[in-house]
Amino acid sequence: MQKTTLERLTYGITIVVLCGAGWYWATQVQSVLEILEMAYG
Amino acid sequence: MNELLLALARWLDSHSLSTQLHESFYMYNWVESTHVLTLMLFLGMLIIIDLRMLGWIFPTVPASHIAERLDKPMLIGMAIMFITGFALYYAIPERTTQSIWFRIKVVLLIAASINAILFRARMRDSSASWDTDLKPPNNIRFAAAASLTLWAGVVITGRTIAYDWFDCHKELPAFMYWAAGCVDQLAASRGVE
Amino acid sequence: METLPFFEWLDTSLLASIAKSNGGVFAVVQMFHLLGMAMLGGMVLLGDLRLLGILMRDIPSATVIDNTHRWFGYGLALTLISGIFMASAVAMKLYYNEAFWAKMTGLGIGILFVYCVRRPLLSFEHSSINPWAMRCLAGTSMVLWFTVAASGRWIGFS
């Protein structure tokens, strides 16, 4: 494959992965809330 | 000795923070996950250094380069592992103190540390003569293999702490009660005889 | 795609009966899984931190990538083999586990990413690659493999 194609693929995958992982870990955010509650509640 | 360790564990157990940490599902899990995932940093870097000492990776890079450049990330990983590891012990002190696996882990940890300190000293003294060799001398390779084996042992026994095969409440031979520090059970088994 | 029959089959396979009836064997395999994870993660970290210019700056990045890529493959093989064995013991539980599917998604993307994009791109002269592509490459790789490892740990909690 061409280098420029691979570079573009990299940008595309970066966006997909950041959104996907960000969304997934955001759904696990309740755990962070509990930690805050433990620290300050 | 066993009595003393148990007394210490029970004292830690009486702290409210210890109970909080144990009972907080998410906080405990975060600490536990951080402990396990930092393996990638600490053990990962250690594996690379040891593999170089065995001559299996980075054959074209001097061994001392690898060891020096990866020293800092490895020590950062080790610090995180120590802090989270202590927190995990602090959350469940009594059961951990009486875990045969935890005890083996501590022994292996000490052995691995001694090996690492000796290894570093030996490397500093001799690396100039073999630094660029693909295969370092036998004593260095032996120390690297020992390091990998010992740390693998530390990981293995760390993982098995979670299993209750040899917990004090189980029916075990007197020797196991002694080795795991099950003070009460040991006294009871002697009383029966 | 309906995958439930696969999990039902795996749940009753010979592998599953070995894994379920021998707690000791399961524990040993799990240790290899952890050691494989440490190897895989270490290679990813070293390779990506070199691409970002944080670690081992004085060693050519092509050398670092070549060496770490090979051992990344060994780590991946070790975790995959041990992982399949472990999965067979709890196949039905995994089918209904959200973290497991997050992990498998990440793993699938990760393998494709490493062998179809990262490796081919890094086979070009590194200095000729767009620096932003390099940063994206390294960052994505670390986020991906961290998510795979962390959601794997999360399987046991959820």
**ipTM confidence:** 0.90
Mean pLDDT of chain C: 92
Using CA atoms, how far apart are residues B1 and B115, in angstroms rounded to an integer?
Answer: 26
Evaluate whether C68 touches C55 at the Cβ level (below 8 Å).
Answer: no
Looking at chain B, which runs of residues are DSSP E strands? none
| pLDDT score of B64 more than 90 | no
Mean per-residue pLDDT, C34-46: 96
What mean pLDDT comes out for the span B142-159?
A: 92
Residue C132: count other Cβ atoms within 10 Å of its Cβ.
12
C-beta atoms of A10 and C139 within 8 A: no
Residue of A nearest to C144 (CA): A17
Domain interval for residue C30? 4-155
Q: Which chains lie within 8 Å of chain B at 3 or more CB pairs, if any?
A: A, C
> How many Å lie between the alpha carbon of A5 and the closest alpha carbon of chain B?
30
pLDDT tens figures, C83-129: 999 999 889 889 998 889 999 999 999 999 999 999 999 999 999 99
Total domains present in chain C: 1
Cα B28 from Cα B20, distance rounded (Å) = 9
SS3 readout for C92-156: HHHHCCHHHHHHHHHHHHHHHHHHHHHHHHHCCCHHHCCHHHHHHHHHHHHHHHHHHHHHHHHHC
Contacts of B163 (CB under 8 A, 6+ apart): B101, C23, C27
Contact between C34 and B158 (Cβ < 8 Å): no
Taking alpha carbons only, the member of A34, C44, C71 closest to residue B58 is: C71
| pLDDT tens readout for residues B116-131 | 998 888 777 776 777 8
Flag if A31 and B20 touch (Cβ within 8 Å): no
How confident is the model over B66-107, as pLDDT tens digits?
Answer: 988 999 999 999 999 999 999 999 998 888 988 899 999 999
Residue B70 to residue B189: CA distance in whole angstroms? 51
3-state secondary structure at position B172: coil
pLDDT at residue C126, rounded to an integer: 94
pLDDT of residue C17: 86
C76 closest CA partner among C22, C129, C33:
C33
CA atoms within 13 A on the CB side of B109: 14
Asked whether the beta carbons of C29 and C86 are under 8 A apart, the reply is: yes
Residues of C in contact with A10 (CB under 8 A): 117-118, 121, 133, 136-137, 140
Contact B187, B111 (CB under 8 A): no
Contact yes or no for A19/C146 (Cβ under 8 A): no
Residue B24 one-letter amino acid: S
Residues of chain C with C-beta less than 8 angstroms from the C-beta of A2: none
Asked if residue A33 has pLDDT above 90, the reply is no
Alpha carbon of residue C42 to chain centroid: 11
Chain A interface residues (partner B, CB cutoff 8 A): 30-32, 34-35, 38
A14 confidence band (pLDDT: 50, 70, 90): very high
